[in-house]
Every structure is written in structure tokens, then in C-alpha cells.
Structure 1
Amino acid sequence: MSIVKTGSAIYKSLGKKGEASVSTETPALKDHPYGFTSRFEGGKGTNPEELLAAAHAACFTMALSFALEGEGYKEGDLKTDVSIFLDEDGDGFRISRSKLSLTANVKGIDEKEFDRIAHETKLACPVSKLFNADIELEYTLNVA
């Protein structure tokens, strides 16, 4: 069985001056602008790398929540920030790294157990599996 989610992009005109928009099947993004300036010059709109960062944050955080619950932990809160690194690669670019920065509050867990679960989840998250890049994890654990 496959779960299929969709997105689309439109690029009107070509190159740096092109006007583009991106949409998702849900109303989360509907004709949201993106383009060269938002990707490389800090202009208005979104860009593929920040969308990947948000997707990786959402996937990893949800997967970790379920992994912790599966290990018997009942109470906690998780917040993950993700940085995606876009580096020059010959004549083009490549995503070389995704850095997960997690703050976790989990009642009753010890550092060693949390470290194991978090690192296993880092590798098991479906979005992590999608990347051909280094995936780093740093975290702050607050035990309640």
C-alpha cells in the first residue's frame, strides 16, 4: 500500500526573472510565490530548501513522538528546528546536510535511552531516508 501526497509548481518565464508559485494538495500552500530571489537572495516567498526543512522537522518530530510512546513514555513535548545546507557542487548545487536541532521534555526518561531512541528515529524517519545527505542531530533533553 502506498500513501500518495502531491504538490505542484509553476514557473512563468525563465531563469532569474521567472515568476513562480508552489502549491500542495491541502490548502497549506496555494500558489505561494517562490523563485530565484527567495532562494538565493533573501527575497519574498518560499524556496525548496525551507520546504524540505519544514518537512524534515515535521516527519522527525512525529516519528520521535511515536517512538517514545512505543517505548512506554506517556508525557512530553518535542520541538525540532531543521537547517538544510545547499552547497555549490560543480556547476550546480546539492543539499549536503540536514541538521536537526531538538528540544525535548520527556517525563521519566534517562539521557542514554533518549539518545538511543532519538538517533534510531533520525535514521528511520521517511524524510531522512529520502535525503542523500548527512543528517545531524543535536538535542537538549529536559527530564520532567
Structure 2
Amino acid sequence: MAEDTQKTILVIEDDPVIRGLLELNLGDEGYTIITAEDGQEGVRLAGEKLPGLILMDMRLPNITGWEATRQLKAAEKTRHIPIVALTAQSTSQDLRRCFDAGCDAFMTKPIQFAQLFTKIEMLLNRSVNIAK
């Protein structure tokens, strides 16, 4: 069961085009994808499904990606799940804000999928090693 959830990625993204591109490209790489359109739904799904990794847009409706990340990292059940921030903003302040919220990595939009796949594999491998 742990291996199945390890290959599961929760994509929390309100833009349907970006969400679809992520779902398509990650699915082609063999990942099982769960999607959420806002931060509130994303926090709920993360607690229910316990994915191996979360891709989190930071500017989301209902609750922002920053707040959703803080909630996930504060909860015992989900704090171990790596979170990659997805944002169009790439200043040092934005980067710091993402890491302060609890994100484990950062990707700017437009997404470079080769870089994203590398980050995902690195974070998933780190999670497996920590769990051992």
C-alpha cells in the first residue's frame, strides 16, 4: 500500500489548463494523479488519500496555498508529505514565503517538466529513505 501512495501525486491548482497539463504529463510518467481546484479541497483530499507528494499552487481560492501548506504541515497525518510550491512569482521574497509556510521545493510557472520530474523523484526518494 505504501508503494501505491508513494506514486500518487495530489495536484492542487485552480487553473484548469495547468491542472490538465500536470495531470497529463505526470500520468505519462506513471504517477497516479488526484486533483483539487482549491486549497480547502486540497487539504481535505490530502488527509483522506495521503498522497506521496503534493503540487501546490500558491494563489488559490478559498484558502491560499500558503495557508493550505501550513495546515498540512501542522497536521500529524499529513506533515510528512513533501509539498512543491507552484507559482508564477519567483522573487527571493516569494521563495522565502513558500519555505516559511512549509514547502519542500519550489517551481515557477511556466512549468519546465524535466525539472519538475527531477524534483519529484528527489523528494519521493527522500521520503522513502526517511521512512526506512
**Based on CA coordinates, which of the two structures has the bigger radius of gyration?**
1
TM norm. shorter chain > 0.5: no
Report the TM-score range of the alignment, normalised by the length of the smaller protein: under 0.3
Q: When you count strand as a share of all residues, which structure comes out higher?
A: 1
State the structure with bigger RCO (CA 8 A, min sep 6), 1 or 2: 2
TM value normalised by structure 2:
0.25
Q: When you count helix as a share of all residues, which structure comes out higher?
A: 2
TM value normalised by structure 1:
0.23
